[in-house]
Amino acid sequence: MKEKVNERVNWPITILLIIGLITVVFPLYMTIVIAFKQPSEMTNSISGILSLPKSWSLANFAEAMRVTDFWRSLFNSFMITVITVVISILIHSMIGYAVGRNKAKNKFYNFSYLYIVSGMFVPFAILMMPLVKQTAQMGIDNLVGVILCYVVFYMPMNVLLYSGYLVNIPVALEEAARVDGASTFRTYWSIIFPIMKPMHATVAVLTALGTWNDVMTPLVIMSGSGMNTLPLAQLTFQTQFGTNYNLAFASYLLALLPILIFYIICQKQILNGVVNGAVK
């Protein structure tokens, strides 16, 4: 009798969930139709705002790209995210390994572990003002400073993830390599690093989503440099959009598009990464 129940599709819940999707889809639909319209099509009634545009012209997008210097902002965002993710995977896994393998028997490593992981409690608000001064003094109030900040901000979470994952990797593997004459670093690089691949994926997803969408760090650190990231450009050019909402929405849509495309391609990895990161 139970088998029958397993096969039956629960249609009422399916339909309710599809109706509920309106809450997700409506804001996106609104963004798309407004982005394609001309200001003259925007009458004051709701139907004027929400009806489909008369023609699917790309003029708004071209103009938005010009106003916000889209390609440069996109390039900056891309560089920041990719470099942060690569450095994070390399050095967070390394310190995660060193600390994770030794913290049980060595006080120094145990202290280092707790020291870094407790950094999770430090809100950006308290670091913000001193960091602005510090990066300016060091001459890195630019992409470099932002990347270094991110590498440090994501360290507590990533070290926690890596050293947690290490528990599943038997020490015998490393000992076998050592008997074969491999140095400690080589053992790490050619044996442990590849084994940690599932965790690299999780770390990459979490770090990338966080840095890609972050506004506050580039806002305070790069404010003097005239450089923008993709989200920051929306803030900087807010005044320039004025009341031309069609232009503004074209720009918002452009800002959302890269991550949406990325999500469509790597949906499974992203969902796994997010869940792993939170649950571990």
Partner 1 sequence: MKKMNDRERTFLLMTIPILILFFLFNTLPLIKGAIYSFTNFKGYGSYNWVGFRNYIDLFQDGRVGRSYWFTFKLALVSTIAVNVISLILALGLNSKIKFKSALRGLYFIPNILGALVVGYIFNYFFTYILPAVIQMMGGEGTSMLASTKWAWVAIMIVCAWQAIAMNTIIYISGLQTVPEDVYEAGSIDGATGWSQFKHLTFPLILPFFSINMTLCMKNFLMVFDQIMALTKGGPAQSTESISYLIYNNGMSGGQFGFQSANAVVFFIMIVVISVAQMTFTSKREEQL
Name which of residues 147 to 176 contact partner 1 (CB under 8 A): 148-149, 151-153, 155
Of the candidates 43, 63, 62, which has an alpha carbon nearest to the alpha carbon of residue 53? Answer: 43
Residue 190 DSSP code: I
| Residue 47 beta carbon to partner 1: minimum distance, rounded to whole angstroms | 10
- Among positions 34, 80, 89, 204, the unique one binding partner 1 when judged by CB under 8 A: 34
- Among positions 68, 231, 237, 250, the unique one binding partner 1 when judged by CB under 8 A: 231
Q: Residue 142: which residues within 8 A CB-CB, separation 6 or more? A: 221, 222, 225, 227
Of the candidates 209, 210, 215, 212, which has an alpha carbon nearest to the alpha carbon of residue 234? Answer: 215
Q: What are phi and psi of 167, to 5 degrees?
A: -55, -30
Closer to partner 1 at the Cβ: 40 or 45? 45
Closer to partner 1 at the Cβ: 58 or 138? 138
Name which of residues 239 to 278 contact partner 1 (CB under 8 A): 245, 248-249, 252, 255-256, 259-260, 263, 267, 270-271, 274-275, 278
- Say if residue 269 is exposed, middle or buried (CB neighbours under 10 Å; 0-12, 13-18, 19+): middle
Name which of residues 112 to 151 contact partner 1 (CB under 8 A): 112, 115-116, 119, 121-134, 148-149, 151
How far is CA 182 from its chain centroid? 36
- Say if residue 26 is exposed, middle or buried (CB neighbours under 10 Å; 0-12, 13-18, 19+): exposed
Name which of residues 174 to 193 contact partner 1 (CB under 8 A): 178, 183-185, 188
| Residue 173 beta carbon to partner 1: minimum distance, rounded to whole angstroms | 15
Name which of residues 68 to 87 contact partner 1 (CB under 8 A): none
Closer to partner 1 at the Cβ: 17 or 59? 17
What's the distance, Cα to Cα, between the start and end of the chain in Å?
37
Q: Would you list the DSSP string of 89-124?
A: IIIIHHHHHHHHHHTTT-HHHHHHHHHHHGGGG--H
Closer to partner 1 at the Cβ: 59 or 260? 260
Q: Residue 84: which residues within 8 A CB-CB, separation 6 or more? A: 147, 150, 151, 154, 207, 208, 211
Binding range to partner 1, per CB under 8 A, among 57-65, 165-173, 194-202, 229-237: 229-237
Binding range to partner 1, per CB under 8 A, among 60-68, 101-109, 162-170, 190-198: 101-109
| Residue 34 beta carbon to partner 1: minimum distance, rounded to whole angstroms | 8
Name which of residues 2 to 21 contact partner 1 (CB under 8 A): 2, 5-6, 8-11, 13-14, 16-18, 20-21
